Amino acid sequence: MKNNTINKKEIEKFSKIAEEWWNPEGKFKPLHKFNPIRISYIKENIIKSFKLENKKNPLNNIKILDVGCGGGLLSEPMCRLGAEVTGIDASDKNINIAKLHSKKNNLKINYICSSPEKLNIKNKFDVILNMEIVEHVEDVNFFLKSCGNLLKKDGIMFIATLNKTLKSYFFAIIGAEYILRWLPIGTHEWEKFLKPEDLISILKDNDFRLERLDGMKLNILTDKWSVSNDKSVNYITKFIKN
């Protein structure tokens, strides 16, 4: 029985470039481009599920856990939308960058250096964000089970990741890392990519049901991401805890 989801090699990889998190032209440039579509997708789906009506702070009183939060690229917008945000990351360096940046922007976010299985909490969360993280963990099954333990009944878990297809190998690794140099070489390992049906199966075993499965597509001409029917490279899911 594993009791740890931290992949040391992956943590070191991201710790090395931690200073780059908030540079829109730096090593996390693709995430900055990707962020607006992630934010609107999460926001709209939370509002719909919980029937929220506060226009000014649409996510008011919603408790969100951002797993593998990095420098806080998603935690901060969620906080600005009114949510109570806890961000966890196994990299100390990432957490320090996130803390500094949120303090600078007067945002109250609870950042903790931890992995989900080691997180001690009193109250469970309404929403868990697993964005571009499952392809970097040691044991996906145990990781998702640990996350599920932190979520309330009828809570939402969002997971965005890369499909395990030939197309994703060419686009996400050969294209993005080697040809276009959008990402540092070695950012992704194709073996760790997950087919949607495998992800659904793992979560079904952990008492979750799939509510939404959408593709995410980059328009090369406009340089903008959109929600799409094409799930062959990037996809995003919304699961509900039974």
- The domain locations on the chain are 8-241
Tell me the C-alpha to C-alpha distance, in Å, between residue 72 and each of 66, 78, 86, 222: 9, 10, 10, 26
| pLDDT reported for residue 15 | 83
User: Pick the residue with more confidence: 179 or 168?
Assistant: 168
By percentage, how much of the chain surpasses pLDDT 90?
A: 69
Average pLDDT, the chain: 91
Domain 8-241 classified CATH 3.40.50.2020? no
pLDDT over 90 (residue 202) = yes
Q: Are strands 234-241 and 208-219 parallel, antiparallel or unpaired?
A: antiparallel
Task: Give the SS3 label for residue 6.
Answer: coil
pTM: 0.92
Quickly state the pLDDT bin for 39 (edges 50, 70, 90): very high
Which uninterrupted H or E stretch holds 3?
none
pLDDT over 60 (residue 112) = yes
Residues 6+ apart with CB under 8 A from 63: 83, 84, 86, 123, 124, 125, 126, 127
Sheet architecture: strand order including 125-131:
110-113, 84-89, 63-67, 125-131, 151-162, 234-241, 208-219, 224-228
User: Pick the residue with more confidence: 129 or 176?
Assistant: 129
For the ranges 49-53, 146-150, 184-188, 237-241, which has the lowest average pLDDT? 184-188
| pLDDT reported for residue 78 | 98
Angle formed by the axes of helices 140-149 and 196-205, to 10°? 50
User: Pick the residue with more confidence: 201 or 174?
Assistant: 201
Task: Give the SS3 label for residue 215.
Answer: strand
Q: Do the beta carbons of residue 98 and residue 19 sit within 8 Å?
A: no
Q: For residue 176, which of 132, 213, 129 has the smallest C-alpha distance?
A: 132
Average pLDDT over residues 17-33: 90
Q: Tokens in use for 110? A: 């609870």
| pLDDT reported for residue 2 | 59
Place of tokens 């806890």: 86
| pLDDT 10s digits, 72-82 | 999 999 999 99
